[in-house]
Structure 1
Amino acid sequence: MGSNVSQYEIDWLYRSRRIPEGVTCRLPGDEIEPVLEPGERVVFLAHFERGFGLPVSAFFRSFLDFYKLQPHHLPGNAVFYLSCYATFMEAYIGIRPTRETFARFFALRINSVQGKEIPKPKPPIQCGSCIIGSRQGSPFFKFSGLESCRLWQGTFFYVRNNGAADLIDLPPFDPAPPTRANWGYNPKESHNETNRIIRFMKQRMKDTNICSDDIVRTFISRRVLPLQRRAHKMSEMYGPGDPTKITGLPLSKKDVVRKAMQICQTAMPEDWEWGLRPFSSTNPPTQEAKDRFPGIDSDRRGPCRKRLDKFYRTPSFRQDLKMGRTLPHASARLHRNHPVHEHVAPLQAEAGQEFVDKLMAQGKKNKAPASDAGSSQAPASKRFRTEPFAAPHSSSAPGLRAPPDPRGPQLLLLTQARTFWCRHYFCLPGSTTSSGCAAPTPPDHRAKEDHVSPPETHDAGASNIGAGKETTGRAEHLVPPVLEKKKKKKKKKKKTKMSSPPKPCRNLLRRQAPTRVTR
C-alpha cells in the first residue's frame, strides 16, 4: 500500500521534539517498498507514537545490535513493550535498562507468512517479523497492545543527518529478514542484578498497589520518550523545565487515559490514582534501593539545566490548559487510533503552500479585509457591527493602534487563508461577493482552541490585521455574528363572554331611600 505520512505529521514530530533539528526528513513517493538515498534510514510514525524518538537511546541501539534487528522488523506493539520495560527500570528501579534483564522478562518469536499452500518451514515476513511477548513464567507486568495496529507499515518515511554528528544512531538499512541471532538468549538466574530486581519488584507488588497501568501512565504523564537518548533517567526528572521532556505542557488525568487507549488495551478509569508513584527529584529512591542497586548513584545527572529553547518552555499563562480533542490525520484511514497533536497545524498544512506564496507575492501584509467588514456607510441591517477585541494590555478606545501580535505575519496569513476558504465554500448573511453569494464571516481560530491542543506561542487575543489603519475597528469578526430573529406577534386569544348578573345600582348600595327595584 505504500506510505501515507503527510508533511503535517512530520511538522508535529519536529515540534514535539521527537526528531531533532539536525535531522532531515523526506516523504516517500509512490513506491511500495522503501527506496533510500545515501545516508538515509527508514523510520515509522507508529513507532514515534509509542515512545520511540531520535536519537535513539543506548539501550535500544544495543537491543538492535544484539538481536541483529532493524526498525522495520519491530511492529508497533513491540516498540510499546520496549517503552514499558525501559520506563519501569528508570522510574521504579532507578537504573538504566539492560538487555540481560529484558531477556529474562521477554522472549522473541518469528512472524512467518501464513497460508496453507506455503510449505514448511514458512519464511518470515519482511516487515514486522519480530514479535515481542512475555516469557513463560515471567514475573514482570503483563501488557496488551492494540489488535488494530496491523497496518503500521504504511507510516514509513526517511531520515538523514544534516551534519557530521549522528543524531539518528540506527544501523544501516537492510531489507533482509532477521537472522534470529541470540533470540534464544535467557540469562535465567545467572545474572545477579536481574535477581535483585525481581526480588525488589515482588516486594513492591506485595507492599503497594503498583500495576501495569502505573507504568504506562508514567511516561505519558511525564511527557518523555523512553527509547530516546536523554540527559538523565526518569527517576531524576525535576519539573516542567526538564530538558528531557518533549513539551512542558501538562496533561490532565482524562488526557492521559485518552493517550493510553491509543497505544494499548487498558481499562484505566478517568479518575485514576497512582498505585505507586514513580521516582523523581521530589520523590527520590530510598536508601534501601540505593544500597541494593549501586547504579542509582553511579549514574547520577549533573546540576539542573534550564531549557533555553523558546518553543518548548511552559508559559505561566497556559498552566490550566487541557490537551483537548484529538484531530484526525492522514493515517486515520489505516486505524482509528489517531495520534494526539500537541500543537496547531501550520499555515502551509491548512491552506497549501501555493496560496501562501500567492499572498506573499501580492503584498497583502498590512491590508485589512474591508470587503468582509462591510462599509461604514451601509445601513445597520446590511453590515455586521463588531467591536474590536482588546488585549489585557491594550486600549479598546476607537482610533488607537492595536499592539502588534507576537506571532507576526504567521497569524495574519493564517487568518487570511481561512477567510479565503470560508468565502468560497460557505454563504452566510453579509456583504455580497463577486459571484453573487453572500460573503461569510470567517471563523475565529481562537474559538476552537479548546478542541485542539494549545499552541506554545503567546497569543494576546488581538488580531493585527489592519493595525494603524482607519478600518482597525472593522477587522474581521472574532466570533460569527448571531442574526436576530424576528419576534412573532402573539395572537390574542378571544375570551368567551360569560353571562353575568347585572351590576347593582349605586343608588341601591347607598340605600338613601327605600325603593323597589325590578330586575
Structure 2
Amino acid sequence: MEIDAGQDQEAGSSSHGSGIDLSNKTRGAWRGSDVTQHEIDWLRRSRTIPEGVSCRLPGDEIEPVLNLGEFVVFLAHFERGFGLPASDFFRQFLDFYRLQPHHLPGNAVFYISCYVSFMEAYIGIRPTRETFARFFSLRINSVQGKEIPKPKPPVQCGSCIIGSRQGSPFFKFSGLESCRLWQTTFFYVKNDGAADLINLPAFNPAPPTKVNWGYYPGMNHIETNRVVRFMEKLMKETDICSDDIIRAFVSRRVHPLKRRAHKMSEMYGPGDPTKITGHSLSKADVVLKAKQICQTDMPNDWEWGFLPLSSTNPPTQEAKDRFLRIESDKRGPVQKRPLDKVDPDPYVHWQELKMGNVSRLGNVPPEASGSADDLIMLEVHEHATPLQAEVGQEFLDKLTSGSKKNKAPATDALKPGPSCQTLAP
C-alpha cells in the first residue's frame, strides 16, 4: 500500500507566494461568476439544493469573498452529479485527499459520478476510496508558460486532475473540452439552521497539498479485487459499456454525489425521493443531457447494453454472496414522494436546446428511457407556452449576450499530461 504524505514543493507553492500575478495567465484562474438567480431557482426546483440552505450570488468580486458560515459551490458541479447535502463518499473523498470543491474541474466531478453510478447501479454497493484508487489517480495541474519560474505553481481552480490509473480495467469516459471556464459558475451557500445540509469542508483558497495522492490499495484489498473480477465478468458476458453507466444516473434523474435515502440499486419508481423528479426522459432527451456533460456517440435510439439494478431488477444471489455489503448497506423502501405536476428540469442547461413539456400517458411500462424502475411512460410535446415564460427572460438574455462576462480572457491553454489521454481535465 502506497501513501503519499504529499507536502511537496510544487503543491505547496501558490500563485500568491510566487510573487507573480497569474490571474491572466491561465484558464485555471478565478474570473468572477456568471451565475444568475434563474439558475439558483433551477437548482432548487430540481431538488439539488434543499430547503434549509440559503444561496447568495457573487457580486463583482473576481475571487470568492465569503460571509461567515458560507461555502463555495459550482453550478458546473451540480450539472455533473453533485448535490446538497454532499454524499458521505464525496465528503470522505475530499477529506482523504485534502481537497476543496474548487480544486476539482467540472469533468473530474463527472468522472467521480460515473464511478459511483457503476458501484451502486451495477454492483449494488456503496463506493469506497480503495476501489476508486484502484481505478483512478490524481495529479497536479500546474500553470503553464515559459515566463513562469519552476517549480510551476498549481492553477487556482481545477488544480487536481483525475485520470485513469495506468492499467486500470475501469470503463473510459471523456469529459467536455468546452468545460474550460467552469470556475465562473461559483456561488455561495449557507446552512440556515443547526443541521448541516451542505456537508462540505470549510472553504480554503490555498492550493492542494497532495496528501494521500499517491495512495494505492495494492492487489490485496479483497473487496476491490472482487469488484475488478465482477466487472471483468460483466464486460465478457454482457454488452455493458461506459454509456450504460452514464445513462444509469441521467435517465434515473439522480445525482450520484448527493446524499440519498438509498443506493441506485434500490430505486423503485417515479415516487422515489432520491430522484430530482418522477418524470421520465425520452431516449433522445437522455442523449441531449449526456452530451451536455460529456463526449459520447450515444444514438437517439440507444438500447441498454446491460440494465442497471433496481428494486425490480435486484442483484443476483451470486452477487450477494460475493458482496456482503449489498445487504448490509441496504436501507429499504422509504416514503414515496408525490409526482411533480411539471418536470423541474425540462431543458438542457447552458444550451439553446429545449426538450418540451412532458405529460403522463398513464401506467404503461416501460418508461421512455427503458429503465426498469419506473412504471409510467412520458411523451414529449411542443411547448405550449412562450419560450421566455418557460425558461425565464434572464436566461434568454444570457444566451444572446454570449453567456460569459469578459473578465481577463485566457492567453494560453493547459496541455493534458500522459495520465489524461482518455480523460479531459
TM over 0.5: yes
Partner residue of 2:61?
31
Partner residue of 2:384?
446
Alignment of 1:263-342 (within 5 A): 263-307=293-337, 313-315=339-341, 326=348, 337=351
- 1:13 equivalent in alignment to 2:43: yes
CA distance in 2, matches of 1:190, 1:36: 44
Partner residue of 2:192?
162
C-alpha displacement of 1:338: 6.5
CA distance in 2, matches of 1:127, 1:7: 23
CA distance in 2, matches of 1:227, 1:322: 19
Alignment of 1:423-442 (within 5 A): none
Q: What is the total number of aligned residue pairs between the two structures? A: 337
C-alpha displacement of 1:340: 7.0
CA distance in 1, matches of 2:352, 2:119: 28
CA distance in 1, matches of 2:354, 2:201: 29
Partner residue of 2:273?
243
1:325–1:452 contact (8 Å) kept in structure 2:
no
1:12–1:343 contact (8 Å) kept in structure 2:
no
- 1:230 equivalent in alignment to 2:230: no
1:145–1:263 contact (8 Å) kept in structure 2:
yes
1:77–1:145 contact (8 Å) kept in structure 2:
yes
Residues 242 and 128 from structure 1, CA distance in 2 versus in 1: closer, same or farther, beyond 3 angstroms? same
Out of 145, 154, 157, the residue aligned to residue 124 of structure 1 is 154
- 1:143 equivalent in alignment to 2:173: yes
Q: What are structure 2's unaligned runs of at least 5 residues?
A: 1-30, 359-382, 392-425
Partner deviation per Cα, 1:306-351 (whole Å, 9 max, x = no partner) = 215xxxx245xx7xx9986647xxxx5xxxx56979999xxxxxxx
Alignment of 1:249-260 (within 5 A): 249-260=279-290
Partner residue of 1:85?
115
CA distance in 2, matches of 1:17, 1:342: 20
Partner residue of 1:501?
none
Partner residue of 1:47?
77
CA distance in 1, matches of 2:307, 2:35: 37
1:60–1:227 contact (8 Å) kept in structure 2:
yes
C-alpha displacement of 1:156: 0.3
CA distance in 2, matches of 1:290, 1:202: 17
CA distance in 2, matches of 1:5, 1:126: 19
* Matched letter for residue 271 of structure 1: D
Partner residue of 1:114?
144
* Matched letter for residue 65 of structure 2: V
Residues 324 and 62 from structure 1, CA distance in 2 versus in 1: closer, same or farther, beyond 3 angstroms? closer
Residues 326 and 81 from structure 1, CA distance in 2 versus in 1: closer, same or farther, beyond 3 angstroms? closer
RMSD: 2.3
2:42–2:345 contact (8 Å) kept in structure 1:
no
Q: For the pair shown, which has the larger CA radius of gyration, 1 or 2?
A: 1
Partner residue of 2:164?
134
CA distance in 2, matches of 1:175, 1:326: 31
Out of 105, 129, 133, the residue aligned to residue 135 of structure 2 is 105
* Matched letter for residue 2 of structure 1: G
CA distance in 1, matches of 2:356, 2:48: 12
Alignment of 1:343-492 (within 5 A): 446-448=384-386
Could you state the TM-score of these two structures normalised by the residue count of structure 2?
A: 0.76
- 1:175 equivalent in alignment to 2:236: no
* Matched letter for residue 193 of structure 1: E
CA distance in 2, matches of 1:83, 1:162: 27
* Matched letter for residue 23 of structure 1: V
CA distance in 2, matches of 1:271, 1:198: 30
Residues 340 and 196 from structure 1, CA distance in 2 versus in 1: closer, same or farther, beyond 3 angstroms? farther
CA distance in 1, matches of 2:214, 2:163: 13
1:2–1:32 contact (8 Å) kept in structure 2:
yes
1:255–1:323 contact (8 Å) kept in structure 2:
no
CA distance in 2, matches of 1:79, 1:265: 15
Q: What are structure 1's unaligned runs of at least 5 residues?
A: 345-444, 454-519
Partner residue of 1:427?
none
1:49–1:339 contact (8 Å) kept in structure 2:
no
2:347–2:356 contact (8 Å) kept in structure 1:
no
Residues 127 and 192 from structure 1, CA distance in 2 versus in 1: closer, same or farther, beyond 3 angstroms? same
1:262–1:339 contact (8 Å) kept in structure 2:
no
Residues 323 and 124 from structure 1, CA distance in 2 versus in 1: closer, same or farther, beyond 3 angstroms? closer
CA distance in 1, matches of 2:169, 2:88: 25
* Matched letter for residue 176 of structure 2: L
* Matched letter for residue 76 of structure 1: G
Residues 326 and 178 from structure 1, CA distance in 2 versus in 1: closer, same or farther, beyond 3 angstroms? closer
C-alpha displacement of 1:190: 2.0
Partner deviation per Cα, 1:128-178 (whole Å, 9 max, x = no partner) = 100001001000000000001000110000000000000001000000000
Partner deviation per Cα, 1:52-89 (whole Å, 9 max, x = no partner) = 00000010000000000000000000000000000000
CA distance in 2, matches of 1:32, 1:325: 29
Partner deviation per Cα, 1:228-268 (whole Å, 9 max, x = no partner) = 00000000000000010001111000000000001000000
Residues 254 and 6 from structure 1, CA distance in 2 versus in 1: closer, same or farther, beyond 3 angstroms? same
CA distance in 2, matches of 1:221, 1:104: 27
CA distance in 1, matches of 2:66, 2:314: 45
C-alpha displacement of 1:304: 3.7
C-alpha displacement of 1:447: 4.0
* Matched letter for residue 284 of structure 1: P
CA distance in 2, matches of 1:154, 1:298: 41
CA distance in 2, matches of 1:251, 1:263: 16
Q: Percent of aligned positions with the same letter in both sequences?
A: 74
The secondary structure found in structure 1 opposite 2:211 is coil
Could you state the TM-score of these two structures normalised by the residue count of structure 1?
A: 0.62
Residues 176 and 136 from structure 1, CA distance in 2 versus in 1: closer, same or farther, beyond 3 angstroms? same
* Matched letter for residue 258 of structure 2: Q
1:324–1:452 contact (8 Å) kept in structure 2:
no
- 1:261 equivalent in alignment to 2:199: no
CA distance in 2, matches of 1:218, 1:276: 10
* Matched letter for residue 44 of structure 1: F
CA distance in 1, matches of 2:262, 2:332: 9
Partner residue of 1:410?
none
C-alpha displacement of 1:452: 5.7
Residues 47 and 340 from structure 1, CA distance in 2 versus in 1: closer, same or farther, beyond 3 angstroms? farther
* Matched letter for residue 16 of structure 1: S
